[in-house]
């Protein structure tokens, strides 16, 4: 299986696991508890009642672990099964290797911590915005956790699962649509995640220079929330899948070095971009560049990356990245050194 095929297999799995986690959170929320705390003015208590805990993302952690394990195995499949002397070489990736376990644990912890902390900040902001607009506690809570679909029983809309920046982005859209200002309302028509079925409603409001009616506004914002949640899951899955695969492949190669099957000085890393117009400029520049296994690639931005998706690199260099590394092993050089060492 090629790296691209591996990526295409696990990215949707992580995206689905993220959506599953958010659905689980939404379905477990007891609205009355959230409303009761808001009625007391206890916003932090309302957030606690939603139980936005790390444990809710266990499905996502499992998917990440599966991607990590597959990435380690995948890179070894790219190495030749026979050495230069014709002898069979057995490559193994130890998922229970202490360093591999540490890397996976750190990846998982960082991912879930970031999601939950960002969630809490965004939900708090959304609750404060709702109350500031003069909504009653119940309406405010429903805008945050979503409203139940009478047919499916699932909560739709709401901001659970969105990033803090997405919540701010949607709040601006709400303010613009209720402004009655044609110039501000027209900005909604520029949003890529909008539901175009509502364009006619918005255009009519613009023509009449009046706010979008409250019932239609609620539907527009609910769809905007849902579409941004889908986008959030896709972007998170793309970034986290790349981090898991890149980290596992790097660790798998290092396990072979530690086992004495290859030497670090004989391993070269070559950066390979996805090769299309979606590749960020800094990674197009890196395409084809090579460094030693213990060296890092320097992006034109100044950032240092050990491999695509390096979790130690800035998010601006890893978010949505689809590049990969090609590992080249100089078996001849290794044999020559070994022969000279034995002869000495």
Domain that holds residue 233: 3-261
Q: Return d(Cα 198, Cα 217) in angstroms, integer.
A: 9
Do 203 and 322 belong together in one domain?
no
Q: Where is the domain boundary, 240, 261, 282?
A: 261
Q: Does residue 342 carry a pLDDT above 60? A: no
Q: Return d(Cα 171, Cα 128) in angstroms, integer.
A: 12
What pLDDT, on the 0 to 100 scale, is given for residue 261? 86
Strand locations in the chain (E): 147-148, 155-156, 267-272, 290-292, 297-298, 304-305, 324-329
Do 255 and 266 belong together in one domain?
no
Do 255 and 343 belong together in one domain?
no
Do 257 and 287 belong together in one domain?
no
Residues 124-175: tens digit of each pLDDT: 999 999 999 999 999 999 999 999 888 888 888 899 999 999 999 999 999 9
Do 213 and 196 belong together in one domain?
yes
Model confidence at 330, in pLDDT bands (50, 70, 90)?
Answer: confident
pTM of the shown model:
0.88
What pLDDT, on the 0 to 100 scale, is given for residue 336? 58
Do 7 and 98 belong together in one domain?
yes
Q: Are 38 and 29 in contact (CB under 8 A)?
A: no
Do 232 and 268 belong together in one domain?
no
Residues 75-90: tens digit of each pLDDT: 999 888 776 667 788 8
Q: Are 259 and 265 in contact (CB under 8 A)?
A: no
Residues 12-61: tens digit of each pLDDT: 999 999 999 999 999 899 999 999 999 999 999 999 999 999 999 999 99
Q: Are 118 and 232 in contact (CB under 8 A)?
A: no
Do 328 and 292 belong together in one domain?
yes
Do 93 and 159 belong together in one domain?
yes
DSSP 264: G
Q: Does residue 344 carry a pLDDT above 60? A: no
What pLDDT, on the 0 to 100 scale, is given for residue 343? 54
Q: Where is the domain boundary, 261, 296, 327?
A: 261
Greatest extent of the chain over all pairs of C-alpha atoms, in Å: 92
Do 220 and 72 belong together in one domain?
yes
Q: Return d(Cα 325, Cα 313) in angstroms, integer.
A: 16
How many domains is the chain partitioned into structurally? 2
Q: Where is the domain boundary, 261, 279, 300?
A: 261
Beta bridge partners of 326: 270
b/e map 251-274, b = 16+ CB within 10 Å: bbbbbbbeeebbbeebbbbbbbbb
Q: Return d(Cα 330, Cα 289) in angstroms, integer.
A: 17
Do 187 and 256 belong together in one domain?
yes
Do 72 and 198 belong together in one domain?
yes
């Amino acid at each position: 299986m090629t790296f691209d095929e591996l990526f295409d297999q696990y990215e949707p799995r992580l995206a689905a696991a993220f959506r599953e986690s958010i659905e689980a959170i939404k379905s477990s929320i007891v609205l009355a508890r959230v409303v009761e705390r808001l009625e007391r003015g206890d916003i932090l208590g309302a957030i606690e009642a939603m139980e936005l805990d790390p444990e809710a993302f266990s499905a996502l952690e499992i998917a990440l672990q599966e991607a990590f394990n597959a990435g380690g195995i995948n890179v070894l499949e790219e190495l030749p099964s026979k050495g230069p002397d014709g002898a069979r070489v057995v490559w193994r990736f130890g998922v229970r290797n202490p360093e591999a376990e540490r890397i996976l644990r750190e990846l998982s912890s960082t991912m879930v911590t970031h999601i939950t902390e960002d969630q809490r900040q965004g939900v708090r902001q959304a609750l404060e915005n709702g109350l500031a607009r003069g909504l009653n506690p119940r309406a405010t809570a429903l805008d945050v956790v979503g409203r139940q679909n009478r047919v499916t029983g699932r909560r739709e809309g709401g901001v659970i699962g969105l990033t803090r920046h997405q919540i701010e982005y949607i709040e601006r859209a709400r303010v613009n649509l209720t402004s009655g200002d044609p110039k501000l309302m027209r900005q909604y028509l520029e949003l890529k995640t909008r539901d175009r079925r509502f364009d006619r409603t918005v255009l009519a409001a613009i023509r009449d220079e009046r706010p979008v009616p409250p019932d239609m506004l609620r539907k527009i914002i609910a769809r905007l929330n849902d579409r941004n949640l889908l986008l959030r899951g896709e972007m998170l899955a793309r970034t986290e899948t790349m981090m898991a695969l890149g980290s596992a492949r790097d660790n798998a190669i290092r396990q072979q070095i530690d086992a004495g099957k290859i030497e670090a000085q004989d391993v070269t890393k070559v950066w390979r971009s996805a090769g299309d117009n979606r590749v960020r400029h800094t990674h197009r520049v890196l395409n084809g560049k090579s460094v030693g296994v213990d060296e890092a690639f320097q992006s034109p931005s100044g950032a240092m990356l050990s491999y695509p998706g390096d979790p130690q690199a800035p998010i601006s260099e890893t978010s949505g990245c689809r590049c990969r590394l090609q590992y080249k092993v100089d078996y001849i050089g290794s044999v020559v050194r070994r022969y000279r060492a034995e002869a000495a």
